Amino acid sequence: MKKVASVLFVFALVFSLVFASAATAKGTWNANSQWAPNNYHSRALKDFADKVYQETNGDLEIIVQYSGALGCKGPDLLQAVKDNLVQMSLITNMTVAGYEMIFGVNSLPMMGPNIEKGRNFTNICRPYFDKAAEKWNQKILWIGPWYDGLWTKKKVSSVGDLKGMKIRTYDKISASVIEALGGLPYALPWSDVYTSVATGMIDAVLTSATTGAEGKLWEVMDYFQPIMFMLATEMVTVNLDAFNKLSPELQDYMIQISKEIEEKVWSDAVVEEESNIKLLAQNGVEIVPVSEEYEAEIVSKTEIVRQDWLEKAPSEAMEIYEKTKNF
């Protein structure tokens, strides 16, 4: 009898310890970034994770995994967050347009040719993006921009200068834009760009001053034009089931700091791009301004690209497009 009582006591003790451990266990989320830790989008995600950790006294730890370490690739990230394989992720909008077409609307040409118009356009898109994200069992916390631009071997100041130019592009829309402007699109991975320029395979590259600076394109190109043919954005989404399990107070806190982080991401993008444009100039690259006439000419020439896409897109895309005509 004493032996049985002893066993029951040990069992009860173990059970109570396990129960206590489970009751006080800290929550852990994984947050995915395809980008390096020093990228401003990655920094924003880490800032969010740190703030949540502090607010909850460590009860919710969000572990940011960089450079695609979790194995989730761009087009698959919408599904990965939906299935809670990862609780949070940075997602480049245009890369998941194959699953949810509305996310591709801001990759249409000249919808945000500069950062101010790009921000206005993103604000118009946001309610539609929120609705689409909810269909995929997730909530958008914030959206930030990527810059774009045109690196060239010869100076470009009009659409006519682009005729016959071999230009590196990165998706179907950007290829369609270059074709509409009289150029010859070349789809190349970033790793092949420098060599392709150096050997004369291509004459120009669509990418930002920041990315170009990282690749030292000033060694093989002489001009950079800060024009955003397409507005690329990066959204941070959270699995809706995971979010809804949090206390209302913590949910409100996350929403509030997300607004603050979004402001900083847009600001950081500007600071980083301007800093790298100065770096290009220091390395002998001429910064070619974008005239109003040149911008208007591009808008006119690329209308066919926008209309072709809108014909296939959901009706919400046309609503967005109509709303942009006033800015």
Q: pLDDT (tens digit, 0 to 9) for every residue of the chain, 327 residues total?
A: 444 344 333 333 333 333 333 323 369 999 999 888 988 999 999 999 999 999 999 999 999 999 889 988 888 999 999 999 999 999 999 889 889 999 999 889 998 888 888 999 999 999 999 999 999 999 999 999 998 899 999 999 999 999 999 999 988 888 999 999 999 999 888 889 999 999 999 999 999 898 899 899 999 999 999 998 888 899 999 999 999 999 999 999 999 999 999 999 999 999 999 999 999 999 999 999 999 999 999 999 999 999 999 999 999 999 999 988 766
Report residue 195 as tokens.
């060599």
How many angstroms separate the CA atoms of 269 and 72, rounded? 24
Domain boundary assignment for the chain: 25-146+231-287
pTM above 0.85, yes or no: no
Supply the CATH classification number for the domain 25-146+231-287.
3.40.190.170
Dihedral of CA atoms 265, 271, 277, 279 in degrees, nearest 10, equals: -120
For the sheet with 286-287, list strands across it.
184-187, 166-169, 204-206, 150-152, 223-225, 286-287
CA dist 185 → 166, 167, 177 (Å): 6, 5, 9
| Count of beta carbons in the 10 Å neighbourhood of residue 149 | 26
How many angstroms separate the CA atoms of 68 and 210, rounded? 20
